[in-house]
A and B are shown apart, each in its own frame.
Chain A
Amino acid sequence: MNIKKRLVFTESLRELGLLLFIIVLSVAVQFRNPAFLTLNNINSLLTNTAILAILAIGMMLVLVTRGIDLSIGSIMAFTGMVTAITVARVPGISPALAILEGTAIGVVLGMITGVLVARFDVLPVIATLGMMNVVRGLTYVVSGGRWISSYQMSTEFKAIATGRTLGVNNLIVIAVVTYLVFTYFINHTRTGRRIYAVGSNPAAAEVSGIPKRRLIFLVYAIMGGLSGLAGVLWVAKFASAQGNTAIGYELQVIAACILGGVSITGGVGKLSGLLLGTIMLGILANALPLINVSPFWQMGIQGVVVLAAVLTNVMVRRNTERTALRRRAI
């Protein structure tokens, strides 16, 4: 029992540290600008973070299988654009149908990446770098370079992002629902667990008859679907669909995953950690303007934070290995 307790403690140490950091950061920011921890600002912080949170789930699954997806910003732009065009042309369309449309398109795009990676063994970086540009280009093509603006969208559609359910902003509700669905998928279905098995030891997975390629395909399809969903939400939130929507957003999503303790070498990643990582990034984005840091600092700070997180991980692992070697009876 004692051993078990100690293990659980070390595993949650990282999340504890992150939580502590978030609290310290919040307090510090609050000190500088009392507008930070108001109900209003927290609500807007969470609303702004919701889309990031949804995408981070998909990216976590991709990273767990030792892959990466750089195409999600483009997929968001494309699905957002197509959905916005649909909404503009068919004003009566129900918001649910619009969401479904965007998600479905995202799944199809994700499946293309999935085939490239799972069937043809194309490196995930290469496949998704290609997709990133193809899909971005297609976004401009379908829109003819024009924007779809607020006035072309129905109020119901915009209400996806601005409306409230039970007093909570819809985006937050959707993010929470997505988290619940994936908590179930990851922790309580065989497919979900096997995704982790594939990432943890691909060779062993193949020997024990786990359909490795099918699972990798699935992961990219899920990522595509979530990107599609996020694209629709993004367009509804900003009430405009543009060719350069969410450009470079994949970097933030990957950053959230890495901060949340998802291992880039596969097999490791928990939703609880992911949530903290996402909130951490959300706070950074929200708080920097509040304490008068120029928004242009945001990208650099994010990059440094990501690199620091990655390097810390390596150091910790090296240390653990060294201790293990010392304990070996030789």
Chain B
Amino acid sequence: MSNEIRIRTERERNWREFFFQWEWILVGVLLLVVIINSSISPYFLNFNTFIRTPATFLDKGFIVLPMMFVLILAKIDISVGSTVALSAVIMAVSYNAGLPMPLAMLLCLVVAGLGGAINGWLLIKFKELSFVIVTLSTMIIYRGIAYIILGDQASGGFPDWFSFLGWGEIFGVPFILICFVLVAIAFGLLLHRTTFGRSVFGMGRNATACRYSGVNTDRVVWIVFMLNGLMAGVTALFLTSRMGSTRPNVAMGYELEVIAMVALGGVSTNGGIGRVGGPLLAVFIIGFLSYGMGLANLQAPIVLVVIGTLLIVSVLVHRIRFQSKKKNSAV
């Protein structure tokens, strides 16, 4: 009855909050990495080198985008590396069996999307099962199928134009970078500007309340996992194009790198928190870092150590941050 109640609809600008964002730290770290890299190799800051470097690491960046959705849903998908291998192997084998290359590429995406959709379907139909066991099983199965198809052989011999995906440039900018930027924008909009993205955030916080509020929770899970698989297929395309051939053991350990990038990007493993900018910066941080370590002649294993440590440390930092200020929800 008391009509005096007036509820404000203007957001208060909080400058302190603006400056104390995780993304600024990431920007700092990225700059640091770039500076270190350029001190190792004077050619690094040359525009042509700088713009080409991302082509060496962006293939897995495509999975980072949907994996961000998966983590915001408070789940994890560790089957993506296997999905990349399976879809790449099927593409190569079907091409060599006479399928036209464009159709083989389409098949690659379909297989990968199906792989993700199966994960989603299992999670919906068997709600008792945790995402860990479901994606662990499919991780074994998908790579297992890749081995059944190809044994320890490699398969390749793709048409020349296929290498454009991984190596091509448009006005000096790598094709893969252009694709990545476009896909990243699409996923960013999907997360922050659509009802679907809103539902994903809500389900990460409280899936029960979302179901009671009429959100189609099953569909959200299914689509997120399907997208995750689909993007693994995109990764398979670019990876295969860069390597020129594929074998069942490709993309081993991609799940770690991808999850590390998402976690470093400030997406909470407890779900509900994350912004597209963080993981994007993290893709470039870890990418440039690996590249720089290559410049410094450090072997790949050290990169493993660094990435593993980054994953653990960033999760730890977020846990401590989360515990100290539970109130700030950055959606």
Contact = CB atoms under 8 A, between A and B. Distances in A.
A306 B44 CA distance: 48
A254 interface: yes
Lowest 9 CB-CB distances: which A-B pairs, in order?
Answer: A300-B144, A140-B301, A303-B140, A137-B304, A137-B305, A303-B141, A133-B308, A134-B308, A299-B144
A310 interface: yes
A145 B256 contact: no
Interface of B: 76, 78, 126, 128-130, 132-133, 136-145, 147-148, 151-152, 248, 252-253, 255-256, 259-260, 263, 269, 299-309, 311-312, 315-316, 319-320
A48 interface: no
Contacts, number: 142
A126 B311 contact: yes
Nearest to B132: A125
A76 to B, nearest CB: 16
A93 interface: no
A133 B312 CA distance: 11
Contacts of B78: 125, 129
Contacts of A123: 76, 269, 315
A120 B141 contact: no
A255 B128 CA distance: 18
B289 to A, nearest CB: 14
Contacts of A133: 253, 256, 304-305, 307-308, 311
B221 to A, nearest CB: 17
A137 B310 CA distance: 13
Contact of A68 (B132, B145, B300): B132
B303 A130 contact: no
A140 B299 contact: yes
17 contacts: A126-B263, A130-B260, A130-B309, A136-B304, A137-B301, A137-B306, A138-B305, A139-B301, A247-B252, A254-B136, A264-B132, A296-B147, A296-B152, A299-B143, A303-B140, A306-B137, A307-B141
Interface class of chain A by DSSP? helix
State the main secondary structure of chain B at its contact with A: helix
Contacts of A243: 301
A116 B314 CA distance: 12
Contact of B316 (A116, A258, A303, A317): A116
Given A120-B319, A141-B301, A294-B151, A129 B137 contact: no
Interface in A101-159: 116, 120-123, 125-127, 129-141, 145
Nearest to B71: A126
A37 interface: no
Contacts of B130: 264-265
Given A138-B301, A299-B147, 11 more contacts: A122-B319, A123-B76, A126-B312, A133-B253, A136-B301, A137-B302, A137-B303, A140-B302, A300-B145, A303-B139, A304-B144
A125 B76 contact: yes
Given A121-B319, A136-B301, A317-B128, A303 B311 contact: no
Nearest to A134: B308
Contact of A297 (B76, B148, B248, B306): B148
Nearest to A254: B136
A134 B78 CA distance: 17
Nearest to A67: B132
B55 to A, nearest CB: 24
B76 A126 contact: yes
A255 B152 CA distance: 23
A195 B291 CA distance: 45
A329 B299 CA distance: 68
Given A126-B259, A310-B133, A137 B140 contact: no
Given A120-B316, A133-B307, A134-B312, A303 B137 contact: yes
Given A251-B140, A300-B141, A310 B308 contact: no
Contacts of A20: none
Interface string A257-298: 010000011000000000000000000000000000010111
Nearest to A112: B312
B301 A122 contact: no
A116 B312 contact: yes
B74 to A, nearest CB: 10
B304 A303 contact: no
B137 A134 contact: no
A132 B308 contact: yes
B312 A127 contact: yes
Contacts of B299: 140-141, 145
Nearest to B310: A130
A265 B128 CA distance: 9
